[in-house]
């Protein structure tokens, strides 16, 4: 198998968020990088709106940017979101903090801005060339060749790609090329819900029409609306509905039905979305899929990263964070190994179980956001959890805290969540107020269940961000 030569040329399929950041990492290690991107250059041409779902960048994503000197630039364009602002159909708003205090927050960041930033910085390394409107049609792993169509003029040619990185998203052409290979397996689970992007513009004269430092949620059981703040004072809203059924995208087939639906379900949001009908009937209806696949590599010839390997639904805000973490782990594997196949196999072993864990947590969090965030028992348990995080720092750990505010492997965060959730549930039984929780009993349960698990997995918990 081939040795890794730092000056050789490698190919990246896809110049999205992960592909662009990966290109920077590879360039910094001395590689010449050719990136093939099917879309036009978004810095030169407007890419169709309506599919953004703003990014919620947190510790893992920020750490990956920090490693290449871009964290501060990203944060200058980000808006801290310190918790969820819950909008009931009627009544007062409820704020649910994400962390134990204001220092623990996630950040709303424009997907388009970050993608443009990463592409520009990749090119500025002097080692990355991005070719746009290049569609990968066929992959020959044995020969290290790609059949590529130039979508600008329709011509088809071959591109040499002895080392190929597939970062071409959930519908990855590179992954599809792996599927016929012996031992390869992949599943795709599509949610029965879709999403539609809407916009709340800035207030007249500028500023925000709602609380700027929150992720706003209108939970309604089988559907929901969310809104994330933007730099210019606007909010990017996303409506999640079933594709079919009594309340669905299919049922809202006229402006009158749409307006009546919002008047009934989202009365406080309706006056804030002046272009509701236009956006709803113009913007595409997006679909959401969970992809689990493996292996992600063809020996030392090709490797999948990001959504191409492990697409997840957006309800834990970790898709981009997870993909960026892939770049960090791959760089560490390249630093430890001298052969491509060894580095790729090590990467797959380290990331597969964690990618599957965050995929499962993302689906579970969809149910939580949609169904439970307005439930009094859920609100009480969240308050109890916050009390325990502050009363037992370093001993009591929550799933959300580990996923969003640390770099502890996702699999360990998933397992901790099951243990911690059981503790919180027991302590909340019969409780009227979170501040009345029995701290002595809490201490005993933490020492009995949580502390031994953390000690047993001490190496994994040494990765604080």
Give this prediction's pTM: 0.93
Question: Does 265 lie in the same domain as 226?
Answer: yes
Structural domain boundaries enclosing 67: 9-77+110-188+288-367
Question: Does 274 lie in the same domain as 147?
Answer: no
Angle between helices 17-28 and 111-124 (to 10 degrees): 20
Question: Does 315 lie in the same domain as 174?
Answer: yes
Residue 83, in any domain of the structure: no
Helix ranges (H only) for 92-242 are: 111-124, 173-178
The last residue of one of the domains, among 233, 263, 287, is 287
The last residue of one of the domains, among 341, 367, 393, is 367
pLDDT computed for residue 463 by the predictor: 40
pLDDT computed for residue 464 by the predictor: 41
Contact 174, 304 (CB under 8 A): yes
Question: Does 228 lie in the same domain as 173?
Answer: no
Instruction: Name the strand (E) or helix (H) holding 196.
Output: strand 185-200
Question: Does 445 lie in the same domain as 391?
Answer: yes
Residue 95, in any domain of the structure: no
The last residue of one of the domains, among 287, 308, 334, is 287
Q: How many domains does the chain have?
A: 3
pLDDT computed for residue 465 by the predictor: 38
How many angstroms separate the Cα of 226 from the Cα of each of 54, 239, 366, 370, 391?
A: 11, 7, 12, 10, 32
Residue 295, in any domain of the structure: yes
Give me the mean pLDDT over the 47-70 stretch. Answer: 85
Which pLDDT band holds residue 7 (cuts at 50, 70, 90)? confident
Question: Does 382 lie in the same domain as 356?
Answer: no
pLDDT computed for residue 249 by the predictor: 98
Task: Kindly report, residue by residue over 192-240, the tens digit of the pLDDT.
Answer: 999 999 999 999 988 999 999 999 999 998 899 999 999 999 999 999 9
pLDDT computed for residue 147 by the predictor: 97
Q: Which of 28, 33, 35, 32 minimizes the C-alpha distance to 7?
A: 32
Question: Does 323 lie in the same domain as 250?
Answer: no
Query: To the nearest whole percent, how much of the chain has pLDDT over 70?
Result: 96
Question: Does 338 lie in the same domain as 266?
Answer: no
Question: Does 173 lie in the same domain as 198?
Answer: no
* Site of tokens 């964290």: 71
Residue 94, in any domain of the structure: no
Task: Kindly report, residue by residue over 277-315, the tens digit of the pLDDT.
Answer: 999 999 999 999 999 999 999 999 999 999 999 999 988
> Concatenated DSSP letters for 316-365?
TS-HHHHHHHHHHHHHHHHHH-SBHHHHHHHHHHHHHHHHHHHHHHHHHH
Residue 4, in any domain of the structure: no
| Residue 67 CB partners (closer than 8 Å, separation 6+) | 25, 328, 331
pLDDT computed for residue 379 by the predictor: 83
Question: Does 119 lie in the same domain as 19?
Answer: yes
Q: How many whole angstroms separate alpha carbon 261 and alpha carbon 259?
A: 5
Is pLDDT at 97 greater than 70 in this prediction?
yes
Residue 82, in any domain of the structure: no
What are 172's two structure tokens?
């990855």
């Amino acid at each position: 198998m081939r040795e890794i030569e730092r000056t050789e040329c490698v190919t990246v399929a896809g110049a999205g968020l992960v592909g662009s950041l990966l290109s920077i990492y590879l360039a910094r290690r001395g590689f010449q990088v050719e990136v093939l991107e099917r879309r036009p250059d978004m810095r030169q041409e407007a890419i169709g709106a309506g599919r953004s779902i703003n990014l919620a960048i947190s510790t893992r994503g920020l750490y990956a940017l920090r490693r290449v000197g871009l964290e501060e630039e990203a944060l200058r364009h980000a808006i801290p979101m310190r918790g969820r602002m819950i909008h009931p159909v009627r009544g007062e708003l409820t704020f649910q903090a994400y962390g134990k205090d204001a220092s623990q927050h996630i950040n709303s960041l424009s997907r388009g801005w970050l993608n443009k930033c990463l592409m520009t910085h990749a090119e500025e390394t002097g080692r990355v060339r991005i070719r746009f409107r290049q569609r990968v049609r066929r992959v020959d792993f044995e020969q290290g060749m790609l059949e590529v169509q130039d979508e600008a003029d329709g011509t088809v040619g071959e591109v040499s790609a002895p080392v190929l990185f597939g970062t071409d998203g959930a519908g990855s052409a590179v992954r599809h090329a792996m599927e016929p290979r012996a031992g390869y397996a992949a599943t795709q689970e599509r949610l029965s819900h879709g999403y539609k992007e809407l916009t709340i513009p800035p207030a007249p004269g500028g500023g925000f029409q709602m609380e700027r430092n929150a992720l706003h949620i209108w939970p309604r059981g089988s559907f929901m609306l969310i809104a994330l703040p933007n730099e210019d004072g606007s909010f990017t809203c996303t409506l999640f509905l079933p594709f079919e059924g009594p309340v669905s995208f299919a049922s809202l087939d006229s402006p009158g039905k749409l307006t009546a639906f919002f008047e009934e379900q989202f009365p406080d949001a309706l006056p804030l979305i002046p272009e509701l009908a236009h956006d709803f009937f113009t913007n595409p209806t997006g679909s959401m899929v969970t992809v689990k696949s493996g292996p992600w590599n063809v020996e030392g010839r090709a490797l999948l990263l990001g959504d191409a390997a492990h697409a997840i639904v957006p309800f834990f805000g970790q898709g981009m964070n997870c993909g960026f973490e892939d770049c960090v782990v791959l760089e560490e594997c390249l630093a430890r190994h001298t052969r491509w196949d060894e580095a790729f196999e090590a990467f797959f072993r380290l990331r597969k179980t964690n990618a599957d864990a965050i995929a499962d947590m993302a689906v579970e969090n969809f149910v939580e956001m949609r169904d439970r965030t307005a439930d009094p028992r859920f609100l009480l348990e969240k308050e109890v959890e916050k009390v325990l995080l502050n009363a037992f720092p370093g001993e009591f750990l929550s799933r959300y805290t580990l996923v969003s505010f640390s770099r502890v492997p996702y699999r360990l965060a998933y397992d901790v969540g099951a243990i911690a959730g059981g503790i919180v549930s027991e302590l909340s039984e019969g409780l009227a107020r979170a501040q009345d929780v029995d701290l002595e009993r809490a201490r005993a349960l933490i020492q009995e269940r949580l502390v031994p698990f953390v000690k047993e997995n001490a190496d994994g918990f040494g990765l604080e961000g």
